[in-house]
Amino acid sequence: MLIYIGGSETTVGKSSVCLGLLSAFLKLGYAPEHIGYIKPVTQCVEKQWVSDFCEANKIAHHSVGPIVFDAYFTRRFIDGEKPSSENLQKLIVDHINQFKKDKKIVVVDGVGYPAVGSFAHISNAEVAALIKAPVLYVGHPGIGHAIDKFNLDRTYFQHYDVPVIGVIYNNVEPSLYARYQDYLSRYFQKAHSEIKLYGLMPKVLELKSLQQNKQLAPLWQPFIDSFLEHIDYRQIADDFRLF
């Protein structure tokens, strides 16, 4: 089972959601050796806290590469100094196919917003299509903008015949949680009954300070507890198992 994590923008919390899902699958009884985390295309080579979580829990992970978008990647691609789109696509697919062997669940972490990498035909939507992975969309919280951005981004995935199965809105201010949940739930039930709103993830207030102080391990449990409380992870596992 592949789950592709796409998002509305950079820093929306895709990797955080990946960590929450990995912890949820452990809770559901999956053995660590049957779970994997991979980020095939990235803009950041710094170690992320989801990698530390994987190491601590003996979960296989490839957090960087094989494609890294550095500051000049686009120019060099257009100038013919990078491999062709076909070769880049093959590199990604081969890498994921090798990685997913003997695993029951692989969480594939996307990069930036859906069209990142489109200049080389390795955008999130195109990669998801190549590996035949449905998408779990992570959105920035709100009401009007959150809905409009989802509809725009879903259209891009649909262009490549990639199904968006459901949505998580991340980093919600606690004071706005009930309002956002009310309006977003009613909207998706009415306008997109086939798409699941799996939940809203409230802002973890200690997250930023803990990251800045490199205190990663103490962060995991409060974040995970909140994820397991607010996100319907059992339904996610059931829905994505169908693909």
Residues 138-186: tens digit of each pLDDT: 999 999 999 999 999 999 999 999 999 999 999 999 999 999 999 999 9
Task: Round to whole Å and give the CA distance between 209 and 58.
Answer: 26
Taking residues 98-106, what's their average pLDDT? 96
Q: What is the pLDDT of residue 212?
A: 54
pTM for the complete prediction? 0.93
Mean pLDDT for the chain overall:
93
Tell me if 196 sits within 8 A of 172, measured CB to CB. no
Task: Round to whole Å and give the CA distance between 95 and 84.
Answer: 17
Q: What is the pLDDT of residue 87?
A: 98
Query: Domains (ranges, CATH) in the chain?
Result: 2-240 (3.40.50.300)
| Burial of 104 from C-beta contacts in 10 A (0-12 / 13-18 / 19+) | middle
Nearest one of 139, 111, 140 to 48, comparing CA atoms: 111
Taking residues 191-198, what's their average pLDDT? 96
- Beta strands 105-109 and 60-62: pairing type? unpaired
Phi, psi of 57 (to 5 degrees): -110, 10
What the block records as the tokens of 9 is 């923008």
Q: What is the pLDDT of residues 58-88, one digit of tens each?
A: 999 998 879 999 989 999 999 999 999 999 9
What the block records as the tokens of 131 is 């590996």
Confidence of residue 95 (pLDDT cuts 50, 70, 90): very high
Q: Sign of dihedral through CA atoms 32, 133, 155, 75?
A: positive
Helix (H, G, I), strand (E, B) or coil at 172: strand
Confidence of residue 45 (pLDDT cuts 50, 70, 90): confident
Confidence of residue 192 (pLDDT cuts 50, 70, 90): very high
Q: What is the pLDDT of residues 104-143, one digit of tens each?
A: 999 999 999 999 999 999 999 999 999 999 999 999 999 9
Percent share of the chain, pLDDT over 70: 94
Report how far Cα 136 is from the mean position of its chain's Cα atoms.
Answer: 7
Q: Is residue 215 predicted with pLDDT exceeding 90? A: no
